[in-house]
Amino acid sequence: MRIEPRENQSLGRLILALFLAVAAALSVCSLLILWSGASPVQGWLLMVKGALGSKFAISETLTRATPLIFTGLAAAVAFKAKLWNIGGEGQFYLGACMAILLGTDTGLSAWALIPWLFVAGALAGGLFLLVPTLLKTHMNVDEVVTTLLLNFVVLLFVNWLVFGPWKDPMSMGWPQSAPVVDAAALPVLLAKTRLHLGFVLGVGAAVLVWLFMERTVWGFEIRAVGHNPNASRFAGMPVNAVIVRTALISGGLAAMAGVSELLGVKGYLTTDLSPGFGYTGIVVAMLAALHPLGVVASALFVAMIYIGADSMSRAINISNYIADVTTAVSLLAVLCALFFTKYRIRRG
């Protein structure tokens, strides 16, 4: 058995590989449904119905996809430069914190306030990722571990905020912050649903990131540095500066997920604002093969799994952790599938 690179890479093969990977993940998921005693067909119908079966279901899926688009873009940009930002969860919460810090006691109008909160949140997230990034570029500290560990630190910080100084006296004792002012709330797109402007912003961000990566020098540099830092340095690119830029963009995007989720869905800060959006963003980015526009599609797919699984677990006796298992399996399956678009296995 021998592994050798393919001479040519076709788009058709890529799409086929992604399709097969998703099919593999869904069949593992079917086994789990079978274990619970239900029929997989019934389970899948319930999931599809739960995720797409009504106007409300679709709106819920789009709402769930919104933060995943941002965190998925954050992971996609960083991974392109081989900057392993696993700290999306922490950056998400920092963005949300900025929205509360600047959005609860202000007289600004919505037109000024909402952009201001997004910018401030993105800055906080980007600067926060800068710490592990500079440690990587200047002191050789592995960013995977530092970004991961900082997630725990940030979550404990948020925990302290909502149990301590930011606790809303009007919340009947629940650990949550005071809500942002009405002007900061993102407009709802569809009456009687939770679908908010954040979704449009997320899709817009995906298009911008795509243009940036494909059509600008900075974007090209990010891809080049990720591909081969030594060659990039030889070609005269400021490698460390490129990595720092990548960190600012990636951290900023992850934080915007937090701002959007806070302003669009909850309005106040709690420690369960994110059920792991930062980590799921990594799956979203990988499912999209790190393509910014693909991120939108894969965020929708992952959101469908989560919303569908919630709905299925209410109808049949199955734990909704099945959604997490399915996304984890699809991550691994896509990793393999992408391999087979670039390599083939030969006998002998």
Partner 1 sequence: MDILQLFLETGFWVAMVRMATPLIFGTLGELICERAGVVNLGIEGIMAAGCMGGWMWVFLGGSLWGGIVFAACIGIAFGMLHSLFAVYLGLSQHVSGLGLTMLGSSLSAFVFRMLLPKATTPPKIVPFAPLDLPVLSHIPFLGEVVFSQTALTLLAFAMVIIVAYILFKTPLGLALRMVGENPMAVEAQGLSVLGLRTAAVCAGSAMMAVGGAFLTLSAFDAYYIGMVNGRGWICIALVVFSSWKPYKALLGCLLFAAFDAVQMRVQQQAGMAIPYQLYLALPYIFSIIALIIMSRKAAYPKALLIPFRKGER
145, 208, 231, 235: residue in contact with partner 1 (rule CB under 8 A): 145
Say whether residue 130 binds partner 1 (CB under 8 A): no
Residue 96 CA to chain centroid, in angstroms?
15
Q: Determine the interface stretch with partner 1 among 58-66, 147-155, 188-196, 224-232 (rule: CB under 8 A).
A: 147-155
In what helix (H) or strand (E) does residue 346 lie, and over which residues does it extend?
Answer: strand 343-346
Say whether residue 150 binds partner 1 (CB under 8 A): yes
Residue with smaller CB distance to partner 1, 152 or 234:
152
Q: Return the exposure string of 72-94: e unless at least 16 CB atoms fall within 10 Å of the residue's CB, then b.
A: bbbbbbbbbbebbbbbbbbbbbb
Q: Determine the interface stretch with partner 1 among 47-55, 63-71, 150-158, 199-207 (rule: CB under 8 A).
A: 150-158
Say whether residue 283 binds partner 1 (CB under 8 A): yes
Residue with smaller CB distance to partner 1, 131 or 300:
131
Q: Determine the interface stretch with partner 1 among 28-36, 48-56, 170-178, 292-300 (rule: CB under 8 A).
A: 28-36
Q: 268 — alpha (psi -120 to 50), left (phi > 0) or beta?
A: beta
157, 188, 194, 315: residue in contact with partner 1 (rule CB under 8 A): 157
Give the closest residue to 333 by CA, choosing from 12, 20, 21, 3: 21
Q: Determine whether 5 is exposed, middle or buried from the number of CB atoms within 10 Å of its CB (0-12, 13-18, 19+).
A: exposed
Say whether residue 319 binds partner 1 (CB under 8 A): yes
Q: What is the C-alpha R_g of the chain?
A: 21
Alpha-carbon distance 211 to 125, whole Å?
22
Q: List phi, psi (to 5°) of 270.
A: -135, 170
Residue with smaller CB distance to partner 1, 54 or 319:
319
Residue with smaller CB distance to partner 1, 58 or 289:
289
State the virtual CA torsion across 161, 163, 165, 170 in degrees, nearest 10: 120
Say whether residue 31 binds partner 1 (CB under 8 A): no
Applying CB under 8 A, the residues found at the interface with partner 1 are 2-3, 32, 35-36, 84, 86, 135, 139-142, 144-146, 148-150, 152-153, 156-157, 159-160, 163-164, 279, 282-283, 286, 317-319, 321-322, 324-325, 327-329, 331-332, 335-336, 339, 343
